Amino acid sequence: MIEQIDLKKVATFNELETFSPNKINYLFGGNGTGKTTLGKVINHCESFPECSLTWEASPIETLTYNRDFVERNFSQSDSIKGIFTLGEGSTEAKKEIEIKRKELDNVDEQILKLTDQINKENQNFKGIEGSYIDKAWDLKDQYEEYFKPAYWGHIQKKKSFFEKCLSERNSNSDLLEESEIVKKCSRIFSESLKKYEIIKKPEFLNIINIEKRDILNEKIVGKEDIEIAKLIKRLDNSGWVREGLQYLETTEGTCPFCQQNISESLKSEIEDFFDESYKNKIKELEKIKDDYQTLRNQINKSLDAIVRIDIPIIDTSELKTKKQLFENKSDLNLKLLNEKVRNPSTPISLNSLDQIKAEIFELIDELNKSIKANNKTVENIDQEKDLLKSQIWRFIVEKLKIDIDQFNNTKEKHTKALKGLNSSLTENENKQKELVEAISELESKIVSVQHSVIEINHLLKSFGFTNFELRKASKKGFYELVRDDGSKVEKTLSEGEYTFVTFLYFYHLLQGSIDQSRITKNKIVVIDDPISSLDSSVLFVVSNLIKNITRDAREKMNGIKQVFLLTHNVYFFKEVTFRGNRDNKWKEEAYWLVRKFKNQSRITEYKENPIKTTYELLWRELDEPEKINTATVFNTMRRILEYYFNILGGLDYEEAISKFEGEQKVIFRSLLGWINDGSHFINDDLAVTVDSGDIQKYLNVFKEIFIRMGHESHYKMMTKDNPVTTQTEV
């Protein structure tokens, strides 16, 4: 059964029009409103790309009675395909088929329910799955800046990304800290990745050895076995004396300190004090100081080069701090060495550089460790990238661990439920197949094309069609139309005869099949205006045959699952839908009006039968002012006034005109003019297009005519406010 029909960009359904049909559907509409188009869409939806059918279950075959059907299956000049039906003489077999048919319907219903349950279970799981997918996707976005190369192949669709997370749930890759893995990504995924030279450590050995020289702790003094040595030793000022001695060369024997003349013997004695041994030690001190200065500058230069090195994967800021500490300590040691040279008799102890050297070397080792790791990465870049990617997925999965475990538990329950439903579905589908085969086997033993011939000929003769009949053709499985004398009718049938016999053929086709093995198949039935050129008695027969079809649909007989009746004939519509009492409408029935407004067709559902008489239909055209057809509205009002006041009400035109003044009188005269012009052609259409603003003026006068002539109650009864016309737009 079809649950919904969408029509768009086909004939007058320019914009999307959607409606949800019932099991039995009666659709009324004028010519050109889109009824036939609707029937064609139901029959061959695949031919209309913008239209669609939504099925309750799997699609089933559609049988449509329209001009196409007649032209395709029923030609007056050719033989007609025979209709296989169950013969009358096989009562027991028919009963058995009917039992199995009902059993098959129950199985079909079970399959439908199980399919619906499976769909709901899948839909529910899909919703739950979607929430977990969104969580994973949010995490993906959070780290995409760093992890994007690892996402490759799973970044276009959310579900693909989530499925990758599920597949990595049991990964045994190393779990890295966030800061560590982010740092590793910036290195391994860098486009500027390349090898770098290992940093060489500065030479500290010689400068540290200077710190250990004994001479620095030694009190260096002159010759002690001369007289003045005692005084210098007591005063402990040999450095001061040595420095002053240098000035004697320029003062010409005058003491640079007391300005007294110094004897040659004293000068000689002082010079003897600073003997060769003393001078050698002073030279040694000066060399130590110079060497220290040189070594200190070399180390400082090396450290400065390291600090300034351009290697983006390392950070030398901490080394820069240590370099400054080295400079401070070495500068202090230079001052001490200068002081020792100036005052050799004073022992000194240099600040040790061992600790700062160890700290600097440790930092350089760390920098080299990063460089070596980088170089190793460059040498093994493909393997390193693969390793990092696996570590990234391990990191992501760890973040989603709780969600993944919850999802897997939910999926396990879903799979278990689905397994049970699918098992039941398979069981019923197997049973369905068995029943179909059993029914086909029973049908194949008792089917015949003769029964349909007998039934169709009986109906033809019952309603006066006695000058031709249907008989089996010489070609097996075919019929032909012949006259009483046995000659073929060729193209001599009247339109009424042709219409009636083709519909009888279609009617019996619904109860059988042109395929011997598919007599009781399920089907959708579409009947498009089958009453052309039929007299009232034959139209009554067709109406009752259609009632049989709708009854079969309601009672699930002959495989008829749904019916669509399309017509523009009021009498035929009323006859087909007549149940004896308005309250007897079946719950499986639905009434529809198909109307066209501004070249757009609309399908409107009515809770009750909207078709009463032609006169009532004229009033319905005035129900919705905003949708009134400006080309026919005046003709509609004229026909209502003419029918009611001329035939039923006895309108006195002159008396009516006297009740109006001014513009309203002019409008009323124009309406009367139409009545007089068209009084003998009440079924003709008069089209006059005017501005929409004038329409309301005419509608107001139209209403006033009923009021002023004392027929207001009739106007109210026939207008849209009447509860009988309550409607629902689809």
Q: What is the share, in percent, of the chain residues with pLDDT greater than 90?
A: 29
Q: What is the share, in percent, of the chain residues with pLDDT greater than 70?
A: 75
Residue 519 has pLDDT above 60, yes or no: no
| CA 361/CA 202 separation, integer angstroms | 9
Residue 178 has pLDDT above 50, yes or no: yes
Span 487-494, average pLDDT: 70
| Residue scoring higher pLDDT (520 or 351) | 351
Residue 243 has pLDDT above 70, yes or no: no
pLDDT digits (tens, 9 = 90+) for 455-465: 777 777 776 77
Tell me which range, 221-225, 245-249, 509-513, is most confidently predicted by mean pLDDT: 509-513
Residue 199 has pLDDT above 70, yes or no: yes
Contact 554, 546 (CB under 8 A): no
Residue 363 has pLDDT above 90, yes or no: yes
Q: How confident is the model at residue 403 (pLDDT cuts 50, 70, 90)?
A: very high
List phi, psi (to 5°) of 348.
-130, 160
Contact 574, 546 (CB under 8 A): no
Across the chain, mean pLDDT equals 79
Buried b (16+ CB within 10 A) or exposed e, 318-327: ebeebbeebb
List, as one string, the DSSP characters of 638-699. Answer: HHHHIIIIIIII---HHHHHTT--HHHHHHHHHHHHHHHHHTT-TTS-------HHHHHHHH
Burial-class residue 230 by CB neighbours within 10 Å (0-12, 13-18, 19+). exposed
Q: How confident is the model at residue 518 (pLDDT cuts 50, 70, 90)?
A: low
**DSSP E strand stretches across 521-625:** 523-528, 560-567, 589-597, 600-606
Tell me which range, 60-74, 81-95, 181-195, is most confidently predicted by mean pLDDT: 181-195
612, 615, 618, 623 alpha-carbon torsion, rounded to 10°: -60
Residue 547 has pLDDT above 70, yes or no: yes
> What was the pLDDT predicted at 683?
36
Buried b (16+ CB within 10 A) or exposed e, 680-715: eeeeeeeeeeeeeeebeebbebbebbbebbebeeeb
Span 159-167, average pLDDT: 91
Contact 273, 279 (CB under 8 A): no
Question: Which segment of 306-310, 578-582, 695-699 scores lowest on mean pLDDT?
Answer: 578-582
Residue 616 has pLDDT above 50, yes or no: yes
pLDDT digits (tens, 9 = 90+) for 5-37: 999 999 889 999 998 999 999 998 877 888 889
List phi, psi (to 5°) of 219.
-90, 105
Q: How confident is the model at residue 308 (pLDDT cuts 50, 70, 90)?
A: very high
| DSSP state at residue 352 | P
> What was the pLDDT predicted at 102?
84
> What was the pLDDT predicted at 135?
92
> What was the pLDDT predicted at 496?
73
Span 594-615, average pLDDT: 81
Residue 76 has pLDDT above 50, yes or no: no
* DSSP reduced 3-state for 172: coil
> What was the pLDDT predicted at 729?
30
Q: What is the pTM of this model?
A: 0.48
Q: How confident is the model at residue 77 (pLDDT cuts 50, 70, 90)?
A: very low
> What was the pLDDT predicted at 575?
80
Residue 244 has pLDDT above 70, yes or no: no
Question: Which segment of 53-62, 127-136, 504-513 scores lowest on mean pLDDT?
Answer: 504-513
List phi, psi (to 5°) of 470.
-100, 140
What token pair was written down for 139?
Answer: 């995490």
